[in-house]
Each structure stands twice: as C-alpha cells, then as structure tokens.
Amino acid sequence: MAKYVYLFKEGNASMRELLGGKGANLAEMTNIGLPVPQGFTVSTEACTRYYEDNQKIGDDILEQINTALAETEKICGKKFGDLENPFLVSVRSGARASMPGMMDTILNLGLNDVAVQGLANQTGNVRFAYDSYRRFIQMFSDVVMEIKKSYFEGALDEVKKAKGAKFDTDLTADDLKEVVSKFKAIYLREKGEEFPQEPKVQLLEAIKAVFRSWDNPRAIYYRRMNDIPGNWGTAVNVQSMVFGNMGDDSGTGVAFTRNPSTGEKKLYGEFLMNAQGEDVVAGIRTPQPISALEATQPTVYNEFVKIAQTLENHYHDMQDMEFTIEHGKLFMLQTRNGKRTAGAALKIAVDLVDEGALTPEQAVLKVEPKQLDTLLHPNFDPSALKKASPIAKGLPASPGAATGKMYFTADDAANAGRAGIAVVLVREETTPEDIEGMDLSKGILTARGGMTSHAAVVARGMGRPAVVGCGELHINETTKTLTVGDKVFHEGDAISIDGATGNVYGEMLPTVEAAVSGDFARLMDWADKVRTLKVRTNADTPRDTKQAVAFGAEGIGLCRTEHMFFEADRIAAVREMILADTVEQREVALAKILPMQQGDFEEMYKALEGRPMTIRYLDPPLHEFLPQKNMTEEIAALATQLNTTSEKIIEKIDALHEFNPMMGHRGCRLAVTYPEIARMQTRAVIQAALKVKKECGYDIVPEIMIPLVCEIKELAFVKKLVVETAEKVFAEQGTKLEYHIGTMIEIPRAAVTADEIAKEAEFFSFGTNDLTQMTFGFSRDDAGKFLGSYYEAKIFESDPFAKLDQDGVGKLVKMAAKLGRETRPEIKLGICGEHGGDPSTIEFCHNVGLNYVSCSPFRVPIARLAAAHAAIKAKKN
C-alpha cells in the first residue's frame, strides 16, 4: 500500500517534495534532537490524490491518518477530547516551495466543550483554556468553514468595549467564556448547525481545507509569480500544540540567524510574551526585539542562540525560525532557509564562503537570479535626499527607493499599476488578499506591523521597497486620505519611501542608477566562471549598450534597426522613402537615411569596444512609420515637405493598411519587395564596421540578421542582395572584412525546415516573441485580454510570452537547433525574445545547448546568474 502519512521521526530534510518544506524540516529538526512538538505529515501526494479523487480523502489515506494520530497521541501521552489531558494540534500547510501567508494554519484543534475544561483542569488556567478555545472557533470558522472573520472580530470588540479592555490580554476568564458563547452562536447562525464537537471531524475538515487552500486565488497568483507548478500540491502537518499564551513565562516569536534585510551576521527577530501563533506577524501588539529575551529569560535565550547556530551550521544557510516558549520551556516550530533582500542574499552568500561554510559554486546557487532585479534599479539621488525632509519614519523593511502616487487599497493600486502609473501602496497593514496590488506597486508603506509583518515579509520576497510600522501615519481607507501631523494627503498625491532607512517623503524624489560592485561583483565573478552560456543584450542605442556592458553583456544579440528610424531628425526621410512612387525616388530618400544609419552603427560599434553585434534588418510593417489618418495637421505638413497633397498621402496610408499587420508585409518581405532598403542597410553596416575597425582597431565581424524568414529561397534572395552590396563596398574601398549572415527563427515553418535554412544561414537567433505568437496563434498585443480566463480555467498556469512554453514552442526550438546543427555543425544559436532574461527559459536554453541568450540591459546580471545556476544544476544531474 502506498504510504501517504509520515510521523516526524520517519522523515528528513531530503524528503521535501513529498513532505513539503515545513514537514521535511520538522522531521529534520526532530532527527537532530531539537525540541519539536511531535506530529505527522500528510504528504503532497495525498493532496494530489485528493484532487484526482474529486476533492475527497481516500479511505486508505484516512486509515493512515488515524494510525498516525493514535501513534502521536501515544508519544505525547494525551488524548483527543479528554477531560484530564486533552490532545490539541495545529494543522499547518507546507508546500515544497515556501509560500508565506498563502495557506492558512489552524491552531488549538481538538478543543470542544469538554476538552476546554480538560485544558483548564490540566493547567489550572481557565483564562488560557477559553482564550485558546475562542481562537480555535474563529480560525476554524474562517479557514475551514469560510465564515467571515469580521463577525468574530466584531463580537470580540463588543466584549472588549463592554469590559473596558484595551488589549485581548486584558480580558478575564469569564469575559472569554462570554466570547466563546458568542462565537458559537455566530457559527450556529451562519451554518445552521452547532460548532463541531468531535475532534476527528474537526481534523479531517481542517486537512481538507488545507488541501483546498492550495487552489485559492492568492495561492494561484503567488505560484504564477514564482513559477511554481500547480500540480505539486501541499502537504499538511498535524502537530501537537504547545502554548505561548499560558501566561507571562510563555511567549512566541520568529527569528533569523542573520539580518534578512542587510545580511549582517547577528541574530535578528521579535517575540511577544503571553501570545500565540500569528499574534507576532499580525502586528496586533508591537513585539519586542529578540535581544530583550536575554534579560527576562536568559536560559531560554541561550538555548535559542545555540539552536539557531546549530541550524545554520546544519543547513549551511541563514535560517528563519519560529519558536514558542511554554512555561519557560523552548520549542522549535519551524525552520527554513530565510527569505532575504537581494543585498542580504549577496552578503550572506559571500560571507558564508569567507567563513568556509560554502564553496563559491554553492554560494552562487544561494542567490535567486530574479532577486538581483532590485539591486539593478535606482536608489534616491543622495543630494536630493539630503535636502528633502521626511514627513515620517517607519521600519526599513525592504530596501530600495520607491517614488510614485499613493493609493489606499490593493485594488486601486493594482488598477493604477496596470494603467502604468508608478504606485506606492499605503495601507494600515497588508493581508494576503493584497498580494496582487503589492506586486503591481513600486513600493509599500504600512502604519502597523513589525519587521516580520506580512507587508515586510512579502515585500522582501518580491524585492519591492517597503517601510512598515510607521505609527505616525493616520490612514483612512474610506476617505482615501493619509494624515501626518497637520498634513493631509489624498489618493494620487506624490510620495516617496526609502526602504533602506524607513524614511517617508511627501514628494517625488529623483533617483540614481545602481552600480555593480563589492559582494555583487564577487558573486557574479564566481557565476561567470561556471556558466557556459554567453549573455548578450538587446540594445539599439549607445546608452543602453554601455549600460548593458557595465552589467556584463558580452555583445548585442539583437539590435533593432527600426528604432533608429523613429528618431525625430530622420522620420522625415523615412516617410519620404515610404511614400516614394518609384525606385528612383526611393533611392533618393534612402541616400538621405544611409549616413544617419551608418552613424548609428558606428556609435554602437564604438560603445561595444569590439564585442559582437547582431543587426536585424528592418522588421515592422511600413505603416507604423506614417501618421495615422486622423492626424490631419501632421499629414498636411508632410504633404508640404514632400511637395504633394494630403489626399495622396491618405491614399498611400490606405494602400498600406493591413487587416493583420503582424502577419502582413513585414520582416524580410520588405526586402523582397524593396531590395533597395536591404542594400542601404548593408552599406550602412559594412561601411560603419570598416570605419570603426580602422579608427579604433576593433576586430569587427558584422552579424547581419534577416528577420521573419519562413522559406529558404526567401533567405537566399535577401542574402544575395547583402553579398552583392558588401562586395561592392569592398571593391570601392579596396579593403575587406569578414561578416556573417544569419536569420531569426520566429515562424514555425522556419523551425520545421531549419535543416534547409541552415544551408544559407550562418547563425540562428530564436525570436521567441513571434515564435510564441505564431505557434499559439495568439496576438501578443491582445492575449492579455483573455489569458486571465485561461488561468482561472486552469488551461494555462503562466503567460507564454513571459515564460517560454517548453512543451510546444520549446519543442520547435529544440528541433530547429538539432536540424540546424545537422546541416551546419558550427552554426551559432541564440535566443533574443523577451524570454532571454527569464531564468527558467535560460535553464532550458542551456540544456538545449544554445550558445547565448540575449535580453534587455537590466536583465543581463540576472541572465548571467541564471546561466550559472543552469550549468551547476546540469553538472549535478
């Protein structure tokens, strides 16, 4: 019989896929002898089975749960529903990859009208027993039965008000009994039945709820954001309860072995006495720093410091730990490799190498490529920062500078973010429902919560700058206002936050670019040593090129020539060319464009200082360069300039109109109909290369790329134009240089006939934007409108334009690479779509054996690190 349930003592850290991260680490901590409340894990495979069996737990799994439960009761010496010694558990989700705040934990399960008295009897603490019971009723009702939390919060507030209590802790045992009976009444009212009294029923319902939560909308969104497959499932941990709310010698907390924000090697965390579970994270009371524990509970503190060190040595990584103190006894509830900012990730990785705990290759794997993004983006201009005066100061929860307009709800922030507005989300505190709004904001500011609050944890994970716990702010969500002192701000007003200092400014502050140095440079150096995939950039201005080179680009993989045509000083000549009626007229116009285009290439070659550049010939449909029909003034001006009439120009615009321009007259089709364009571009490339080679001594080998080829004869036709023109230039100048002609593979037919195409092409560059578009038959400009429904219906898990579809489009890439190499073993292969900067796609490219990826300048370091990860992982397999 397949095994679906594991006692903690049966598992270990390597069983993460089966037991989830939390379960595997609880097992590991048990094995190394740390104080862990015992329990068992229902595996991720049971979750997958649950969905396969139409959201039911199979009988064989039920039986294993019952056996494990009996076993755990024995180990703990307690029994479910017992009047003397009741067994209480927590039910905790735990997926393979940590998904903080995504799944809901249920505490104190097993409490009922009898067990609550048992708990009171056993502890002699009636207040504590009823406090636990009311927490359980609320959590169970909310998480499992989906009864609104606000009903319970409302009832609790009523009792607090009636008793004049400020905090929950001010309530007496009798007050809490009253709360419990109110809570049960709410349950009865909402569900039409009494609160379930049978602990086993409670347990099964809770397990099912955890399984269900795997598929709640925020979990699905988080998975899409983090590339986590939907079929992994979550495990469920059932663990004996320990109590941090048993009085002033009890408490609960979270801590990191190093500072997750800066990477500093110093125990870092927070705790609350007489509190349970989520109280620390929820920001209801303000927690104390971990160092304060040393004074009040020195023995516990020293033991904790020792355990923290043991865990860090054991995992060779910074740990994020959750603990509870029950009557002065310490229990470990969780450990995991802690989430950290990009800056902290670099420092910790480099420090661990210096401390001898990691090899450079292991350290490289400790930094997530996507995370680097935050380091590559701007910080506030120091001089502007000096002059500005903050309106408030909160906790520096996640570094980086964010400046934008303030919005007060996650929905408003998400809408504004989608509309391209730079948004700073300003909230009392954030909740897991806010995740999308947070993702679409440039920065996050909250009035409540500590360094481990939801806002802080999630912002660090996303690499979003955040300032939290800024108590001076008064936020009114209803009127959408923020009041600080006597200043009132409204939705859409300017705000800046500095996640490194916690300062908040009531104005927009200018930002400056980031630099690659220190720890960053050392780690990237190690990454470069192991990677085999080259990293180029997509750039068509000297400025972008220099930025990319500073970030480590080894050349340009895609220089789009059309972008050069749009510049104000040359669009006139381009329009003249397009509107020409005869070849002669067109050649006159092209002669005007030639020196400008050649000048562009010269500057690019200079910026590259000898690095290679793949230049793509004119690609978009020509109508894109003309004014739109309703732009009457522009058309009239153009008519005057070209000595013609507006009518004639409109006629031409009409003639160029296409129903489906993406599949229209573009790419190499332009060169087939207007060979003189390809000739001009060839002249520009070759003349520029010869000139810069002579002036600067760089060994330039131009790479000329013909776009949108679907048929070998098409490529042969354009190639002939290029070769003839190049030969002419060589003859004119009495000198030569080597150059290569290749093509983009971006039409499925080209991929399928790549063996033929390779007879003419010296290199392939996979244009995965168009290839995806044409393979799926989705327009990339319109897909956004319906992809949402595809995620909801679980047809797709991610956007194929952001993450390469390896099964379909990837298969074409693989096939074309193989066919191309059969014809021309030395053919150079690269990728230049948006996908070139996506880590999972980069791993795919490494495994297919491409020579390079090309991505936008800011993604170059990400691609270098991802390529290193791919190489190290491939070595391991």
Residue 678 CA to residue 617 CA, distance in Å, equals 7
Stretch (H or E) spanning 600: helix 583-608
Facing residues of 235 across strands?
Answer: 94
CB closer to ligand ADP, 90 vs 547: 90
Q: Are strands 329-337 and 319-326 parallel, antiparallel or unpaired?
A: antiparallel
Q: Spot the catalytic one: 47, 377, 454, 559.
A: 454
Binder of residue 343, out of ligand ADP, Mg ion, none (CB less than 5 to 8 A by kind)? none
Site map for Mg ion, 88-127, x if CB under 5 A? ----------------------------------------
Amino acid at 707: P
Q: How far is the CB of 146 from ligand ADP (least distance, A)?
A: 18
Stretch (H or E) spanning 766: strand 763-766
Determine the interface stretch with Mg ion among 10-18, 54-62, 584-592, 763-771 (rule: CB under 5 A). 763-771
Q: How far is the CB of 250 from ligand ADP (least distance, A)?
A: 10
**316 tagged catalytic:** no
Which residue's structure tokens are 């670099």? 346
Which residue's structure tokens are 């590259």? 608
Binder of residue 742, out of Mg ion, ligand ADP, none (CB less than 5 to 8 A by kind)? none
Q: How far is the CB of 131 from ligand ADP (least distance, A)?
A: 13
CA angle 647, 652, 656 (to 5 degrees): 150
Q: How far is the CB of 707 from Mg ion (least distance, A)?
A: 6
Q: How far is the CB of 106 from ligand ADP (least distance, A)?
A: 9
The residue at minimum Cβ distance from Mg ion is: 770
Phi, psi for 264 (deg, rounded to 5): -55, 140
- Which listed residue (746, 805, 834, 843) binds Mg ion by CB under 5 A? 746
- Which listed residue (38, 234, 334, 441) binds Mg ion by CB under 5 A? 334
Radius of gyration of the chain (CA): 32
Binder of residue 841, out of ligand ADP, Mg ion, none (CB less than 5 to 8 A by kind)? none
Binder of residue 767, out of ligand ADP, Mg ion, none (CB less than 5 to 8 A by kind)? Mg ion
Binder of residue 242, out of Mg ion, ligand ADP, none (CB less than 5 to 8 A by kind)? ligand ADP
Q: How far is the CB of 107 from ligand ADP (least distance, A)?
A: 6
Binder of residue 252, out of Mg ion, ligand ADP, none (CB less than 5 to 8 A by kind)? ligand ADP
CB closer to ligand ADP, 319 vs 598: 319
Q: How far is the CB of 689 from ligand ADP (least distance, A)?
A: 58
- 294: its two tokens: 């040393």
Asked whether 505 and 390 are in contact (CB, 8 A), the reply is: yes
**454 tagged catalytic:** yes
Residue 146 CA to residue 140 CA, distance in Å, equals 8
CB closer to ligand ADP, 245 vs 772: 245
Q: How far is the CB of 237 from Mg ion (least distance, A)?
A: 10
CB closer to ligand ADP, 123 vs 481: 123
Binder of residue 499, out of ligand ADP, Mg ion, none (CB less than 5 to 8 A by kind)? none
- 7: its two tokens: 């006692």
Q: In sequence order, which ranges of 657-764 are alpha helices (DSSP H)? A: 668-673, 675-696, 712-733, 748-752, 754-757
Determine the size of the site formed for Mg ion (CB under 5 A).
Answer: 5
Determine the interface stretch with Mg ion among 399-407, 601-609, 633-641, 760-768 (rule: CB under 5 A). 760-768
CA distances from 315 to 148, 258, 337, 479 (A): 40, 13, 8, 49
Among 304, 283, 285, 282, which Cα is nearest to 293's? 304
Asked whether 366 and 317 are in contact (CB, 8 A), the reply is: yes
CB closer to ligand ADP, 343 vs 432: 432
Amino acid at 715: L
Binder of residue 406, out of ligand ADP, Mg ion, none (CB less than 5 to 8 A by kind)? none
Q: How far is the CB of 277 from ligand ADP (least distance, A)?
A: 3
Site map for Mg ion, 133-152, x if CB under 5 A? --------------------
CB closer to ligand ADP, 138 vs 334: 334
Which residue's structure tokens are 């244009």? 767
CB closer to Mg ion, 753 vs 773: 773
Binder of residue 333, out of ligand ADP, Mg ion, none (CB less than 5 to 8 A by kind)? ligand ADP
Binder of residue 101, out of Mg ion, ligand ADP, none (CB less than 5 to 8 A by kind)? ligand ADP
Helix 632-641 to helix 646-656 angle, to the nearest 10 degrees? 110
SS3 at position 385? helix
- 505: its two tokens: 């400014």
CB closer to ligand ADP, 242 vs 741: 242
Q: Spot the catalytic one: 832, 845, 846, 869.
A: 832
CA distances from 607 to 119, 304, 543 (A): 74, 55, 8
Residue 487 CA to residue 498 CA, distance in Å, equals 20
Which residue's structure tokens are 């709360």? 179
Amino acid at 783: A
Residue 110 CA to residue 136 CA, distance in Å, equals 9
Report the site for Mg ion in 314-333 (rule: CB under 5 A): 322
Residue 93 CA to residue 19 CA, distance in Å, equals 10
Residue 293 CA to residue 280 CA, distance in Å, equals 15
Binder of residue 528, out of ligand ADP, Mg ion, none (CB less than 5 to 8 A by kind)? none
E strands, 549-590, in order: 556-560
Amino acid at 579: L
* Interface contacts to ligand ADP, rule CB under 6 A: 37, 90, 92, 101, 105, 107, 239-242, 252, 277-278, 322, 324, 333-334
CB closer to ligand ADP, 36 vs 684: 36
Residue 401 CA to residue 531 CA, distance in Å, equals 31
Residue 321 CA to residue 306 CA, distance in Å, equals 13
- 781: its two tokens: 């400009």
Q: What is the DSSP letter of 86?
A: B
Q: Is 770 in the site for Mg ion (CB under 5 A)?
A: yes
Residue 181 CA to residue 165 CA, distance in Å, equals 18
CB closer to Mg ion, 73 vs 320: 320
Binder of residue 239, out of ligand ADP, Mg ion, none (CB less than 5 to 8 A by kind)? ligand ADP
Phi, psi for 768 (deg, rounded to 5): -75, -15
Q: How far is the CB of 510 from Mg ion (least distance, A)?
A: 36
CB closer to ligand ADP, 92 vs 846: 92
Q: How far is the CB of 252 from ligand ADP (least distance, A)?
A: 5
Asked whether 74 and 40 are in contact (CB, 8 A), the reply is: no
Residue 613 CA to residue 605 CA, distance in Å, equals 8
Q: Is 767 in the site for Mg ion (CB under 5 A)?
A: yes
CB closer to ligand ADP, 13 vs 495: 13
CB closer to ligand ADP, 277 vs 667: 277
Among 37, 118, 87, 107, which Cα is nearest to 200's? 87
Binder of residue 770, out of ligand ADP, Mg ion, none (CB less than 5 to 8 A by kind)? Mg ion
Among 282, 281, 300, which Cα is nearest to 292's? 300
CA distances from 68 to 42, 198, 242, 327, 332 (A): 10, 18, 19, 28, 21
> Which residues of the shown chain bind Mg ion in the complex (CB under 5 A)?
322, 334, 746, 767, 770
Active site positions, annotated: 454, 832
